[in-house]
Amino acid sequence: MTKLSIDRPILVCNFKTYLQAIGPKAVKLATYADEVSKSTGIQIILTPFISDISEIVKTTDLPIFAQHLDYAMPGKNTGHILPEAMKDLGIKGTLINHIEKPLKFSETEQTISRCNQLDLISCLCSSGFNQSEELAKLNPDIMIIELPELIGTGKAISTANPEIISKAVENIRKVNQDVTLIAGSGITNSKDIEKAIELGMQGVGSSNAVVSSTNPKQTLEELALALLDKK
């Protein structure tokens, strides 16, 4: 087995624990994303709630990531999310250290190591730029640059705080030329994406803008087409 090939630019859509993206609604949203990916050629990665992964894997060809994995080994680890079990469900990677599920540096390092052991893509979240250089040294496959106070606000990090992205890119590229960089936090429209790409991003992450949309397929199309324009 080998890791999933990352086709830049990419769109990561995080379902989080929104009720609009749980159960049958999650499957429907995944179907929309699959249709948009096929019509635009943009790689869309989905991170559904854990209980929906199995069903979504059956209904879409899109790469499915976990929202979180533990670095626990098989055995006496009650309550942990075991990477081997999640890989058996069909995931291709996982988010790590999301601002809503933060990890210590040592935990982050061990989780990336477990991903490498199992050929899973490590998608590491970095809050701002303060730790971005040290995190980049861990050699994740993808890094999402976030700003906690903007998550879910509709105010994009790329337009509201472009200097955060610029500094993060500068720090990361000092030590890692290969990691795929993505802008997260408040990405809502084509202008947000245009600015993110201009600042050195190779994709974007979105959650609330898609999941809470009255027309999620249309929103996905708008985001994907904006990325396609920059491909």
pLDDT over threshold 80, residue 100: yes
For the residues 53-67, what does the mean pLDDT come to? 97
| Closest to 65 in 3D by CA, of 79, 83, 77, 80 | 83
pLDDT at 87: 98
Give me the phi and psi of 86, to 5 degrees please: -70, -35
> Which pLDDT score is estimated for 149?
78
The residue from 98, 133, 221, 222 that is catalytic is 98
Q: Which among 150, 110, 57 has a CA at the least distance from the CA of 45?
A: 57
Using CB atoms within 10 Å of the CB of residue 162, give its burial: 0 to 12 exposed, 13 to 18 middle, 19+ buried.
middle
pLDDT at 1 over 80: no
pLDDT of 128: 78
Q: Where are the domains of the chain?
A: 10-228
Q: Which pTM does this prediction carry?
A: 0.95
pLDDT of 41 reads: 96
Mean pLDDT for the stretch of residues 67-74: 98
- 146 is annotated as an active-site residue: yes
Average confidence (pLDDT) over 10-17: 98
Is residue 122 very low, low, confident or very high in pLDDT (cuts 50, 70, 90)?
A: very high
CATH 3.20.20.70 matches 10-228: yes
Tens of pLDDT along 161-203?
899 899 999 999 999 999 999 998 888 999 999 999 999 999 9
Q: Is 90 exceeded by the pLDDT of residue 141?
A: yes
Average pLDDT, the chain: 94
pLDDT at position 116 is: 98
Q: Which helix (H) or strand (E) holds 66?
A: strand 65-66
